[in-house]
Structure 1
Amino acid sequence: MKSGESHGTMTVSLREIGLAVKRLQWRHHREGNARLAEIGLSLPQWDVLRHAAANPEASGHELAVLTFQSDQAFGTMANRMIAKGLLVRVQGHGRAMHYRLTPAGEDARRAGAAILDEVMTGSIGQLSPTEQATLHSLLVKATGRL
């Protein structure tokens, strides 16, 4: 980082900011996956449970988009999660399939949420509430989702 000339602020390149975001994301993924493995889940599987619970009318395609997967990758993962007793497939409108959490899936979702809350507390939780709100606002603004 380089000191800025005006008002004692720091000048940081866009690449440095991007790298810091990526490092934080990598930390969350690495720690989240390691901790979730203790309860038999991966981070992508927990993400499916989270989004399926929050969006019960979402199609498989919509859940794939929400979880940053291709339709094929989502279908493969959903089949594995059905075999593990975490999800059930439900017929939607037309050819659309919806996914619902089983009681075991809901238990896994809740346990995973608690684990990921702990992971986030170790990083973002170190910021003050005002800093957290500012970080959230800036990240949402940067993604163009105002």
Structure 2
Amino acid sequence: MGRAVKEAQYRHHRALDTRLAAIGTTLAQWDALRAIARTPGASAHELAVATFQGDQSFGTLASRLAAQHLIERRPGRGRRIEHHLTEAGERVLTAGRAVTRDVLAASFGPLDEGERATLLGLLRRIGAPGEELRGQRPRN
């Protein structure tokens, strides 16, 4: 079952990366832009958590986004560095939303609305924060 989930995710991410490349970005970059748009002024650590990355990986990614003038890093309180989208970043984010809508529709198109709702509910249930997986045996 885990392999089937990973295969679906892999196909989905490959499609997203391919389509996002056409607008000059990657899935990781677009996801970072989306996280920054959701929480303007967030720290690198907060954004790393939101994008399922380590702090160092996100820092490298943010440096690339800043070099492309897609985000700005501004000093916050203390040593905190805050992240904000630029106008160019907003444009890439908007273009990426159209791409992701199309890919999501294709990825989940074989499922009817009820099946999509069931799948979402099940994935949320097994992925709930605080669930401990170590040492548990699968139920048959």
1:28 Cα deviation after fit: 1.1
- How far apart, CA to CA, are the structure 2 residues paired with 1:43 and 1:145? 24
- How far apart, CA to CA, are the structure 2 residues paired with 1:25 and 1:51? 19
1:93 Cα deviation after fit: 2.2
Match of 2:42 among 58, 71, 81: 58
SS of the aligned residue for 1:137 comes to helix
- How far apart, CA to CA, are the structure 2 residues paired with 1:126 and 1:88? 40
Unaligned runs of 5+ in 2: 131-140
Match of 1:106 among 87, 90, 111: 90
Contact 2:41 2:84 in 1 (8 A): no
Runs of 4 or more, structure 1, over 4 Å off, are none
- With normalisation by structure 2, the TM-score equals 0.87
Aligned residue runs from structure 1 range 92-131, under 5 A: 92-131=76-115
Contact 2:34 2:93 in 1 (8 A): yes
Is 1:78 the counterpart of 2:65? The answer is no
For the structure 1 residues 33 and 78, does the alpha-carbon distance in structure 2 shift closer, same or farther, using more than 3 Å as the test?
same
1:27 Cα deviation after fit: 0.6
Larger relative contact order (Cα-Cα within 8 Å, sequence gap ≥ 6): 2
SS of the aligned residue for 2:53 comes to coil
SS of the aligned residue for 2:109 comes to helix
- With normalisation by structure 1, the TM-score equals 0.84
- How far apart, CA to CA, are the structure 1 residues paired with 2:55 and 2:26? 18
1:87 maps to 71
Q: Rg bigger for which structure?
A: 1
Is 1:32 the counterpart of 2:42? The answer is no
Q: Please report the RMSD computed on the Cα atoms of aligned residues, expressed in angstroms.
A: 1.4
1:4 maps to none
Is 1:139 the counterpart of 2:119? The answer is no
Unaligned runs of 5+ in 1: 1-16
- How far apart, CA to CA, are the structure 1 residues paired with 2:109 and 2:41? 32
Q: CA-to-partner distance for each residue in 1:79-98, whole Å, 9 max, x for gaps?
A: 11111110001222221111
